[in-house]
Amino acid sequence: MSHSRIFLFLFISFNMFGNVPIAKTPIPSRKAILKLTALAADNLSESKFEQSLANSRLALHYAINGNDDCLIAESYNTIAANYEELSEVDKAIYYYKKGLVYANKTTNDTIKNALNNNLGNMYCFEKNDFDVGINYYKKALEYSTNIANAGRVYITNMNITWAYFYKGSFDKGEPYLDFINKHQKTDGDETTIVAANMLNGMFFTNKLKFDKAELFFKKAIELGKQDIDKSDLSYAYEEYAKLLMKKGDYKRAYENLALYNSITKTLRDSNKLKRANIVGVNLELDEYKRKVDTIENEKNLQFVSLQKSIVIVVLFIIAMIVVLLLLYSVYKNYSFKKKKNAELIIANEELLLAKEKAEEASYLKSQFVSTISHELRTPLYGVVGITNMLLDEHKELADSPHLNSLKFSARYLLSLVNDVLQINKIEENRIILESLTFNLSDEINLIKNSLSFIAKSHNNHINVIIDPTIPEYLIGDKLRFSQIIINMVSNALKFTNNGEVNINAELVKIENKAHFIEFNIQDNGVGIAAEDQEKIFDKFVQIGRKEIDYQGTGLGLSIVKRLLELFDSTISLKSKIGEGTTFTFTIAFDHDPIKTIELINKIQVDLTSSEIFTVLVVDDNKINQLITKKTIEKNNYKCTVVDSGMDALELLETEKFDIILMDINMPLMNGFETTKRIRQKGIITPVIALTAFDKEEITEEALSAGINDIIIKPFEPILLFKTINQLLYKTDETVIV
């Protein structure tokens, strides 16, 4: 196409690439290659395709050998132009893009402008991909502005206008049309005037200003008749016919459309004739493409071969140096090997001794953790159990905030003790989060009430703000979540006096069933200095001890950080001395009404039974005996309590029981030994271990002794009765897990 969608390949001048380094190969000279590329472009303008391709291929060969990126880009531009004239659109785009790769390696904006403009022509008016084409046009406009070529700036603005109008984006094309109208007299010429008038006609047609549009179309047609190239005239007839159709002047519209078809046919016949004269060229195009690629491949292979030769020489020199160094090193090593061997023998003996001590220390640590865990859980079982007994026996205390806070605090203390004593498990990610149904608002308000005594002691007020869009029931590990909130809020209360602590929960995002809730714990207390803000998440760190005696172990925020890692979350803070601190973290809880109902149904176990079972409790702790007996009898079971394993064996000689609840840590004869002797007597009554030991520590020995299941104290009564029912009714396999 030779109209104002200008085809920029006839732009070469011998001094335009003066800023590009001259090729290293002196023969042929760069000037000779430039003449060859100019000749190829002239051949193309005269439709001498075979000659143009031959000359551009030879120029490309010389340019590649000379590593001249600018001339390589120019040669590819001419090759692509030949393909475009021969209607090989995809091949033309391929070589335009290849030329652009080399052009982008140079600082020459002229060749970059030409290639981007030509690619814009191909995508807009051959591929009808206007978005891609307009992007290329805009790059061409940038380069034509850089080289201060007013003519090319004008042509590129016209191309962009035309593309936008063909796309139907008249508002986007209007600024470019304004530029054309403003610079037509100074930068336009007789090759662009027809298109400029036609574009104005298209614009005013779109604006429904038909009379003004018709004036522009008539002027475009009048000027087009005087031009040798009739392609723009044909487009003017076509667009004018569209205007007349909108006006309802169908006769004149048909006449102009007929003129458009006539000119288009003439141009098409002319192109057919031209292609008929060069029919043999198309047969050689694929072979030509392969030859062009071969030139580049040969050059690359030569370069790679040279690089390999250099590498081989360098490696040989390095190898010789390494051999010499190795010989020297062998000599030196042999001389001091005996000395080091003696030192290593001593070091190994010390390491073995240190290893044994480390293993012994690790064992003692495990024993210490196990003992402390047992000693703490046992009294906590009493606290939790007596609290439940008070609530059961004194219904008037059911709404007592003090008793509820006591129960909640005891349960939390149990969980906290477990986490503190097993912090190594947290760090090794050995804790698995549970999926429980809970009400977020209830949990937070329960925490608020349980911490009210701390708030009152510091004259603080706790505010709870819950986003109403948060679902009523969520699914997640509510106990771990409660630990996080309790640690954060209790910390805020301890470091705030006569102030406020705000607990904010806001739903920030929903992805499938996951509801991401952002929590902010804000206080207006003493604040944290910037240099201390990273330290506070370390274990046993307590900022401010020197000034104020704040109680605590220094583990709270460390545990919070590790618990949040289990939730795939992190914590951040903003603080300023004297103004307070805000901690922020986000946790994703599931909301699944169906799953929630299932979980609730699992909790709601029907423990009623018309049959009365007899239970033997073996425990040496009087408080534990009382609590366990009350729990059993509350479910209408008969309960007998003995103080030791010997008493249990003696009683089993004369009485029969449906279930045996066995303590493990008892004097004289522990629970394992007692159970073994029960089994030796042939008694198959199910035995459930009620123990404060960690389940993982005793599972293997419990199975060996014949114990059917293990329940860790303190425990929920519902878990106990569920386990008893499973064992008695054989509803589930009695396997300790």
DSSP string, 254-289: HHHHHHHHHHHHHHHHHHHHHHHHTHHHHHHHHHHH
The whole-angstrom separation of Cα 710 and Cα 700 is 11
The whole-angstrom separation of Cα 638 and Cα 578 is 62
CA atoms within 13 A on the CB side of 724: 27
What's the pLDDT score for residue 630? 87
How deeply is 384 buried, as exposed, middle or buried, from its count of CB atoms within 10 A (0-12, 13-18, 19+)?
buried
The whole-angstrom separation of Cα 671 and Cα 565 is 38
As given in the structure block, the two tokens for residue 238 are 């076509």
Q: How far is CA 335 from CA 344, 345, 432, 702, in A?
A: 16, 17, 57, 61
Q: Please enumerate in sequence order all residues whose Cβ is within 8 A of that of 670, keeping only pairs 6 or more positions apart, or say none.
A: 645, 664
The closest alpha carbon to 233, from 275, 270, 261, 200, belongs to: 261
Greatest mean pLDDT range, 217-231, 372-386, 528-542: 217-231
Give the pLDDT band of residue 295 (cuts 50, 70, 90). low
What's the pLDDT score for residue 270? 66
What mean pLDDT is predicted for residues 523-550? 69
Q: Where are the alpha helices (DSSP H) in 394-439?
A: 401-421, 423-427
All structural domains of the chain, each given as residue ranges with its CATH number in brackets, are 1-185 (1.25.40.10), 189-284 (1.25.40.10), 432-601 (3.30.565.10), 605-729 (3.40.50.2300)
The pLDDT tens digits for 426-463 are 655 656 788 888 889 989 998 988 888 788 888 999 99
Give the pLDDT band of residue 735 (cuts 50, 70, 90). very low
Cα separation of the two ends of the chain: 81
As given in the structure block, the two tokens for residue 679 are 């089994």
The whole-angstrom separation of Cα 145 and Cα 346 is 78
Residue 235 has pLDDT above 90, yes or no: no
Residue 644 has pLDDT above 80, yes or no: yes
The whole-angstrom separation of Cα 75 and Cα 394 is 99
DSSP percent split of the chain into helix, strand, coil, nearest 5: 65, 10, 25
Q: What does pTM read for this prediction? A: 0.40
Give the pLDDT band of residue 13 (cuts 50, 70, 90). very low
Residue 503's DSSP bridge partners are 464, 521
The pLDDT tens digits for 485-517 are 998 898 889 889 999 999 999 999 999 889 999
Least confident of 93-102, 537-546, 705-714: 537-546
The closest alpha carbon to 613, from 660, 674, 649, 648, belongs to: 660
The whole-angstrom separation of Cα 522 and Cα 500 is 8
Q: How far is CA 407 from CA 449, 512, 712, 714, 720, in A?
A: 12, 36, 18, 12, 19
What's the pLDDT score for residue 689? 92
The whole-angstrom separation of Cα 522 and Cα 620 is 48
The whole-angstrom separation of Cα 399 and Cα 415 is 24
104: helix, strand or coil: coil
